[in-house]
Amino acid sequence: MEIVFGRPKALTKVEFHYCPGCTHGIIHRLVAEIIDELAIQGKSIGIASVGCSVMAYDYFAVDMIQAAHGRAPAVATAVKRVHPESVVFSYQGDGDLAAIGTAEIVHAAARGENITVIFVNNGTYGMTSGQMAPTTLIGQKCTTCPEGRDPGRAGYPIRMSELLATLDGATYISRESVHTPARINSAKKAIRKAFEVQLRKEGFSLVEILSTCPINWGLNPVDSLKRVEDEMVPFYPLGEIKKCREV
């Protein structure tokens, strides 16, 4: 018997702690599959952030550094400067990257740091149980905007990928989603491109991936996937925002 589908080598055997219906697991898997396919497990160094994915250091079978909230791009910057031949990626949520870590992500991109950022956007602070994030949509209910996000009081959601794409140092930026099999395939291609940009030493690459948070959205897993399509995608359009050189 031949095994045709198994756990990627770049994932440890530790079971994910993610909630049912959360798509972090799919995204972890995609990153691990790309690490396997590019045969870079031995030279990869991952930077975990603060948020639901904080324990990514238990899941990726590569050297891992857990960074303070929002600081992963600064940590990644230094690791890459020390080991320029390694492959350095950060894995950050939207609270981490788009709020407390805004300065670090903007400047890592502006410097054109040769790192790859996996940016998981579920529009809420999942780990702290559903507070408003900078990416929370207008009208979306959160524990800190119980009547729904009111732009008069809480401002507007940030499209980080578009913002970062304006920077000369950013080489490749794409927004993806994993709410359908086709989207999963597209997200995987984008993740591969992002890592390839780094391997070619072409600069900063980031893949934003729209993700679900059924528990804090108050939806079941299936309705959560539907919400990505119906509510998130219209505000966060999918596709390559900054294209890299095709090879």
Partner 1 sequence: MEKVLMKGNEALAESAIRAGCRYYFGYPITPQSEIPEYLSKRMPQVGGVFLQAESEVAAINMVYGAAAAGARTMTSSSSLGISLKLEGISYIAAAELPCVIVNIMRGGPGLGGIQPAQSDYFQATKGGGHGDYRLIVYAPSSVQELADMTYQAFDIADMYRNPVMILGDGLLGQMMEQVELPEFKENKLIKTADKSWAATGTKESRPPNIFNTLYLDPEKLEELNLALFEKYKAIESREVRAEEYMTADADLLLVAYGITARIVKTAIDEARKKGIKAGLMRPITLWPFPKALANQLSAQVKCILTVEMSQGQLIEDVCLAVGRRVPVHFYGRVGGMIPSVEAVYHEICRYAGMKDDALLELDAGIRYTYAEV
* Residues near partner 1, by CB under 8 A: 41-45, 47-48, 54-55, 57-58, 60-68, 71, 74-79, 81-83, 86-87, 103-104, 106-107
Exposed / middle / buried, residue 125 (Cβ in 10 Å: 0-12, 13-18, 19+): buried
Residue 40 or 137 having the CB closest to partner 1: 40
Residue 57 or 119 having the CB closest to partner 1: 57
Residue 63 or 162 having the CB closest to partner 1: 63
Beta bridge partners of 210: 121, 177
The β-bridge relationship of strands 131-132 and 124-125 is antiparallel
Task: Identify the three-state secondary structure at position 143.
Answer: coil
Report, in Å, the least distance between residue 2 CB and partner 1: 23
Report, in Å, the least distance between residue 75 CB and partner 1: 4
Name the nearest CA neighbour of 49 among 35, 38, 60.
60
Tokens of 117: 């950022």
The backbone torsions φ and ψ at residue 164, rounded to the nearest 5 degrees and listed phi first, read -70, -30
- Residue whose tokens read 């119980």: 146
Report, in Å, the least distance between residue 108 CB and partner 1: 9
Report, in Å, the least distance between residue 19 CB and partner 1: 16
Residue 47 or 160 having the CB closest to partner 1: 47
